[in-house]
Amino acid sequence: MKDEEIEQLRQATQDLEAKLDSFANGILERDQEINRLNEEIGRWQARLEDAVGRLAQYEAEKRSGSVDSIECIDAIFAATTGLTGGQAYSTGAAIEYLWRWSRKGGVEDLRKARWYIDRLIAELEVEAG
């Protein structure tokens, strides 16, 4: 074999090794990305299972009578009939926060309800002149 042929083979070998390294690195990066995505899927599945579990618990409580059988949205629709715009929205939002404060957001929900009530009062005072 000539020196020139040997050098060509060495160069071809180096090129193939570089391509193999690049390919292996690509596989490693894809494998890491797959692992990251699987972890993310696991987190989303846990959130979904938690939400489904809460819904099932709520439905069971509702059937047993330990939760009101009236839906908040139905109460909001009834309370805002005839109202429009900001008045309807503020009334509905205040009702929603008052409805859930003891089961969900506590004092923070009461503050939010008060904010919407204050906004509604201010709007009515401006209209009244």
Q: Closest Cα partner for 76 from 57, 100, 60? A: 100
User: Residue 35 and residue 45: Cα distance in Å, rounded?
Assistant: 15
Q: Answer whether residue 39 shows pLDDT above 70.
A: yes
Which pLDDT band holds residue 76 (cuts at 50, 70, 90)? very high
| C-alpha distances out from residue 104 to 5, 108, 110, 117, Å | 78, 9, 11, 19
pLDDT at 56: 79
Which pLDDT band holds residue 60 (cuts at 50, 70, 90)? confident
| C-alpha distances out from residue 85 to 15, 80, 98, Å | 70, 10, 20
pLDDT in tens, 87-100: 999 999 999 999 99
Residue 83: CB atoms within 10 Å: 14
pLDDT at 103: 86
7-20 mean pLDDT: 90
> 10: Cβ–Cβ under 8 A, 6 or more apart, which residues?
none
User: Does residue 91 contact residue 107 with C-beta atoms inside 8 Å?
Assistant: no
- Which percentage of the chain shows pLDDT scores above 70? 92
Q: At what angle do helices 72-80 and 85-100 cross, to 10 degrees?
A: 150
